[in-house]
Amino acid sequence: MEQTVPASSRAEVPDPADAAPPPLPPRGRFGIRLSPLNRRRWRNFTRNRRAFWSLIVFGVLFGLSLFAELLANDKPLLIQYQGEYYTPIINFYPETAFGGDFQTEAVYRDPVVRCLVRTGGAELCLFEPETALQEAEASGTVEGEPIEPGWMIWPPIPYSYNTINNIDGAAPSPPDANHWLGTDDTARDVVARVTYGFRLSVAFAIVVTVLTSLIGIAAGAVQGFFGGLIDLFFQRVIELWGATPQLYIIIIVAAMFQMNFWLLVFLMTLFGWTALVGVVRAEFLRARNFEYVRAARALGVSNAKIMFRHVLPNAMVATLTMLPFIVTGTIGSLAALDFLGFGLPSSAPSLGELTLQAKQNLQAPWLGFTAFFAFAIMLSLLVFIFEGVRDAFDPRKTFQ
Amino acid sequence: MSEVLEVENLSVSFRQDGAQTQAVRGVSFTVERGETVALVGESGSGKSVTALSTVSLLPDSAEVTGSVKYAGQEMVGAPAARLRKVRGNEISFVFQEPMTSLNPLHTLEKQIGESLALHQGLVGAPARARIIELLERVGIADAERRIKAYPHQLSGGQRQRVMIAMALANNPDLLVADEPTTALDVTIQAQILELLAKLKREEGMSLLFITHDLGIVRRIADRVCVMQGGEIVEQGPTETIFRAPAHAYTRKLLAAEPAGRPEPVARAADEVVSTDALRVWFPIQRGFLRRTVGHVKAVNAASLTVHAGETLGVVGESGSGKTTLAMAMMRLLASQGPIIFEGRNIQGLGTRELRGLRRHMQIVFQDPFGSLSPRMTAEQIIAEGLGVHGVAKGQNPRQLVAQMMAEVGLDPAMMPRYPHEFSGGQRQRIAIARAMILRPRLLVLDEPTSALDMTVQVQIVDLLRALQRRYGLAYLFISHDLRVVRALAHKVMVMKDGDVVEAGAAEEIFDAPRTDYTRGLMAAAFDMKAVGAA
């Protein structure tokens, strides 16, 4: 029981002068010093193989989608023209920069621009790019003149989400070698749209979740911790707020303004922050009379610090249990709004809009299958990850 | 005499997540008819597990080997039907916590009637008559009317009486009482012990009594089994064990009584804190407009003075206002009347002004499990006050924490551990370190030893006394345990229902109590005797 206590019991109080603190634990893999508790949580999380691999897969997918501009774009990554290098994704170059006629941005997929770059600005490209290219490939000359050959490096998917492609036949076109998942009904490449759409969905969900959690936890904490009249008043406010018809407000706002990402984030946060208030409030109501809170108060610790240091960590488990529902719910809401046409404008790369197209074009099943698998994989991965997170924070597993 | 219960070579182990924990190892003892056997030991010694395994009341994760024979019948591995027949009928249980062992939604009639209907098929009027008879036997006044009462309408002692009535309902041969008085006040404890002894005599039952309190054992038991770490280290007749304990652990247990007396206080010691007719009244509000119709007088006109190096013991039963008084003095509760701390009236000071004073007045709470935040390390907990009040230049907080830990008898190497990794006594040391690191002048101790085992209590009392000597601390020591108070306090204040019944020098009060109430308290605490209708 007390065997770890040196010189206890009837002895004098030991002289503390020579007591030395133990060395700090070594830094972890990424130079971050995790507390033992968090290290145990991380171990619990990695022990859940499904959650761990889901996190890795999701991390790779989302990490790649963050660089969607480099993966799917209708501009080349790098151009060498007349011995100089150009980066069209970052910089604006008019067509005249490559010896063309127009002051507008070069259309890099246009045969004329391709020919100009390849041949180093041969005149013939402006009139007969096909002939000029053929000659350049065959003999390295155009109209007998020697050329300064240039080149372009294209992204793996040479289309952006809003590129309207020239396709043979009617859009939507089925999958082929150029368009791996076909095109949608305005001849835009589906792979490119899914890549950008995945990023948009996840980013939207993360931004909305972070904002609603911050507001919800703060509101719940204040209500639960102080209780009394504040609690009574804000509970009524939340009840009234919750009774507001969210969808109608969004439709009205969508009719008044051009909808964009941040406006939609604002609207979703406006109505979403109440989700966590109840749980956090209950945890704070429970914890505010705990003895360690009272002990902190006796030490003179300020209310804000008590809430942050003593009560909040204990409310975290309940919050984390709710979080997956908020994340997946937000992704679902965005898709639903886009599907109904009240979300982002139809040029935006939205998975909800893809679903709508799938419904309208039942003859093109690749649209429906793509939308379905994109949602299924994304939501499943998220649910698996959060399941692992919740288990890792489970006090019964952490405190053993 | 014949044996009612024979336990032979009983071992119990629990399996969880692949790990096996041995709770009881090879325990053997017998209980004879009409005999009281006490199982004594500190928490975690396997007393309760042993008792529960007699009728296979352990969870599924338990693995039981060995033999338990009740009246010659083997109970380990017996079919469920037979166990059910024995449970509550031939072997009855009384548990520790009277609050939670009664169903809050059932009346007394229903609770007791359930067992009567189950084992005797008694329903309707005869059952009712039997219930009233039982309640009268366990000393519940006005049983006819009380039969319709719900558990929350009864006091703790009454609830424990009802539990005993339930246990007696089917005239058991063996009553297993698992710490039945631990949650009760000393005066109530004495009454319950007397009741159990009387009932045992009248019914000719056997009693298996589980306790950590040797005082109770001496008073009630015929034979004692001393348990440590899942084993019985010594057993024999009570007289023999108390007179000539053979095992070292038994000797240690017997010696574990808060001994010694407080150090005398210097004559010219400064006054640290004093109150004058301090009162804490909670208004009772009724009606739509919440008019105040009366007050719950939690503390009524308490006047006290504590000097540096002096301990004022505040004693009284639960509900007497001891803790409320402490909270009010720490300004954690609203109160009326001046509180003079170091010559300054702190009543009515704002939060900001108080914050500066808080480092000089600190409090240690009763429950060492609840008073430490489970998600902070020992280092963070102890250093918390330093964060609020700052550290003097050139001092390293980690170094200060390490010194403080060594001072309260904890190894500084345990700094990064979390509260659940410490034992109860160690946690209480952490709580004391948290308060002491600010070098307060007044330390309020709210039942700091009540939740601890006897041997650990002694260590904490010694630690407190040593700290007081070293730093000239003023203690306000709140306890219902008069033995601890006697070992620590210079002055004593006895409280009852919010009133100060008696106050004065410790020796005077212990040697010559002036009021009946104090006399009753002393008798119950030191002799385990119920005096009058205390």
A366-377 pLDDT, tens digit each:
899 999 999 999
- For the segment A271-282, the average pLDDT, to the nearest whole number, is 90
Q: Which residues of B touch A2 (CB under 8 A)?
A: 423, 425-426, 455-456, 459
Residue A1 has pLDDT above 50, yes or no: no
Amino acid at position A39, single letter: R
Average pLDDT, chain B: 84
CB of B358 within 8 Å of any CB in chain A? yes
Three-state DSSP at B295 gives strand
Interface test with B, best of A292, A301, A302, A317 (most B CBs within 10 A): A292
Identify any residues that bridge with B201 across adjacent strands, giving them in sequence order: none
| Rounded Cα–Cα distance for residues B39 and A179 (Å) | 81
- Look up residue B327 and give its two tokens: 């909270």
| Rounded Cα–Cα distance for residues A284 and B421 (Å) | 25
- Look up residue A327 and give its two tokens: 């994340």
Least CB-CB distance to B420: which of A305, A310, A399?
Answer: A399
Residue B369 has pLDDT above 80, yes or no: no
CB of B426 within 8 Å of any CB in chain A? yes
CB of B15 within 8 Å of any CB in chain A? no
Residue A6 has pLDDT above 70, yes or no: no
| Rounded Cα–Cα distance for residues B67 and B78 (Å) | 11
Sign of CA dihedral A349, A350, A353, A354: positive
Check CB contact under 8 Å for A16 and B42: no
Residue A3 has pLDDT above 50, yes or no: no
Q: What is the 8-class DSSP label of residue A274? A: G
Q: Which residue of A has its CA nearest to B398?
A: A21
Q: Angle, nearest 10°, between helix axes A312-340 and A365-393? A: 170
Check CB contact under 8 Å for A19 and B405: yes
**pLDDT per residue as tens digits for the range B457-478:** 888 888 888 888 888 889 999 9
Confidence band of B531 (pLDDT split at 50, 70, 90): low
Q: How confident is the model at residue A50, as a pLDDT?
A: 92
- How many residues in chain B? 534
**Residue B532 CB neighbours (<10 A):** 10
Confidence band of A51 (pLDDT split at 50, 70, 90): very high
Q: Which of A280-289, A391-400, B415-424 has the highest mean pLDDT?
A: A280-289
Phi, psi torsion values for A335, nearest 5 degrees: -65, -40
Check CB contact under 8 Å for A1 and B412: no
Name residue, tokens 């749209």. Answer: A193
∠ CA A46-A50-A56 to the nearest 5 degrees? 70
Confidence band of A11 (pLDDT split at 50, 70, 90): very low
Q: How confident is the model at residue B218, as a pLDDT?
A: 85
Q: Which residue of B has its CA nearest to A301?
A: B388
- For the segment B140-162, the average pLDDT, to the nearest whole number, is 82
| Rounded Cα–Cα distance for residues B387 and B364 (Å) | 18
- Look up residue B45 and give its two tokens: 């010694």
| Rounded Cα–Cα distance for residues B256 and A9 (Å) | 10
Q: Which residue of B has its CA nearest to A312?
A: B375
Q: Which residue of A has its CA nearest to B460?
A: A9
Q: Which residues of A touch B377 (CB under 8 A)?
A: 35-37
Q: How confident is the model at residue B187, as a pLDDT?
A: 80
**pLDDT per residue as tens digits for the range B494-518:** 988 888 888 888 888 888 888 888 8
Three-state DSSP at A122 gives coil
∠ CA A246-A247-A253 to the nearest 5 degrees? 90
| Rounded Cα–Cα distance for residues B77 and B13 (Å) | 15
- For the segment A331-339, the average pLDDT, to the nearest whole number, is 91
Amino acid at position B331, single letter: R
Check CB contact under 8 Å for B384 and A9: no
- For the segment B201-205, the average pLDDT, to the nearest whole number, is 85
Q: Which residue of A has its CA nearest to B370?
A: A291
CB of B399 within 8 Å of any CB in chain A? yes
**Residues A106, A113: contact at Cβ < 8 Å?**
yes
Identify any residues that bridge with B442 across adjacent strands, giving them in sequence order: B361, B474
How many angstroms from the chain centroid is the CA of residue B33? 31
Check CB contact under 8 Å for B409 and A19: no
**pLDDT per residue as tens digits for the range B246-290:** 888 888 888 877 777 777 776 677 888 888 888 888 887 777 777
Q: Which residues of B touch A25 (CB under 8 A)?
A: 416
Q: How confident is the model at residue A25, as a pLDDT?
A: 64
| Rounded Cα–Cα distance for residues B84 and B119 (Å) | 9
Residue A5 has pLDDT above 60, yes or no: no
- For the segment A226-233, the average pLDDT, to the nearest whole number, is 88
∠ CA B136-B138-B143 to the nearest 5 degrees? 30
Q: What is the dihedral of CA A103, A104, A110, A113, to 10 degrees?
A: 40
Confidence band of A392 (pLDDT split at 50, 70, 90): confident
Q: What is the 8-class DSSP label of residue B498? A: T
**Residues B280, B299: contact at Cβ < 8 Å?**
yes
Residue A75 has pLDDT above 90, yes or no: no
Confidence band of A40 (pLDDT split at 50, 70, 90): confident
Quote the radius of gyration of chain A (alpha carbons, Å): 30
Residue A29 has pLDDT above 70, yes or no: no
Q: Which of B209, B232, B213 lies closest to B48 in space, CA to CA?
A: B209
**pLDDT per residue as tens digits for the range B383-432:** 888 888 877 777 888 888 998 888 888 888 888 888 888 888 888 889 99
| Rounded Cα–Cα distance for residues B197 and B176 (Å) | 13
Three-state secondary structure of B393-430: CCCCHHHHHHHHHHHCCCCHHHCCCCHHHCCHHHHHHH
Q: Which residues of B touch A20 (CB under 8 A)?
A: 399, 402, 412
Confidence band of B487 (pLDDT split at 50, 70, 90): confident
Q: How many CA atoms lie within 13 A of A209 on its CB side?
A: 21
CB of B256 within 8 Å of any CB in chain A? no
CA-to-CA dists, residue A345 to A164, A177, A259, A261, A348, angstroms: 16, 29, 7, 9, 6
Q: Which residue of A has its CA nearest to B417?
A: A36
CB of B362 within 8 Å of any CB in chain A? yes
CB of A7 within 8 Å of any CB in chain B? yes
| Rounded Cα–Cα distance for residues A371 and B145 (Å) | 71
CA-to-CA dists, residue A207 to A197, A213, A315, A341, angstroms: 15, 10, 22, 21
Check CB contact under 8 Å for A22 and B401: no
Residues 6+ apart with CB under 8 A from B387: A301, B397
For A83-92, B327-336, B385-394, which range has the lowest pLDDT when averaged over its residues? Answer: B385-394
Residue A2 has pLDDT above 50, yes or no: no
**Residues B30, B199: contact at Cβ < 8 Å?**
no
**Residues B220, B36: contact at Cβ < 8 Å?**
yes
CB of B295 within 8 Å of any CB in chain A? no
* Secondary element (H or E) of residue B278: strand B271-286
CB of B407 within 8 Å of any CB in chain A? yes
Amino acid at position B496, single letter: K
Check CB contact under 8 Å for B377 and A295: no
**Residues B224, B217: contact at Cβ < 8 Å?**
yes
Q: Which residue of A has its CA nearest to B455?
A: A9
Identify any residues that bridge with B503 across adjacent strands, giving them in sequence order: B493
Q: How confident is the model at residue A209, as a pLDDT?
A: 93
CB within 8 Å of chain B, chain A residues 261-320: 290-292, 294-302, 305, 309-310, 313-314
Cis, bond preceding A172 (omega within 30 deg of 0): yes
Q: Which residues of A touch B406 (CB under 8 A)?
A: 14-16, 19
Check CB contact under 8 Å for A295 and B403: no
Check CB contact under 8 Å for B330 and A13: no
- pTM for the whole structure: 0.75
CB of A177 within 8 Å of any CB in chain B? no
Phi, psi torsion values for B224, nearest 5 degrees: -125, 140
CB of B459 within 8 Å of any CB in chain A? yes
**Residues B51, B176: contact at Cβ < 8 Å?**
yes
- Look up residue B183 and give its two tokens: 């949650």
For A17-21, A62-66, A237-241, B103-107, which range has the lowest pLDDT when averaged over its residues? Answer: A17-21
CB of B401 within 8 Å of any CB in chain A? yes
| Rounded Cα–Cα distance for residues A292 and A274 (Å) | 28
Check CB contact under 8 Å for B409 and A5: yes
Three-state DSSP at B252 gives helix
Q: Which of A332, A353, A226, A325 lies closest to A281 in space, CA to CA?
A: A226
Beta strands B474-479 and B311-315, pairing class:
parallel
Q: Which residue of B has its CA nearest to A316?
A: B375
- For the segment B342-364, the average pLDDT, to the nearest whole number, is 85
Beta strands A145-146 and A151-153, pairing class:
unpaired
Check CB contact under 8 Å for A314 and B412: no
Q: How confident is the model at residue A17, as a pLDDT?
A: 58
Residue A16 has pLDDT above 80, yes or no: no
Interface test with B, best of A8, A34, A286, A398 (most B CBs within 10 A): A8
Chain B nearest C-alpha distance from A307 (Å): 12
Confidence band of A394 (pLDDT split at 50, 70, 90): confident
* Beta strands in A68-109, from DSSP E residues, in sequence order: 78-81, 84-86
**Summary count for chain A: helices (H), strands (E):** 16, 5
Q: Which residues of A touch B41 (CB under 8 A)?
A: none
Q: Which residue of B has its CA nearest to A19?
A: B403
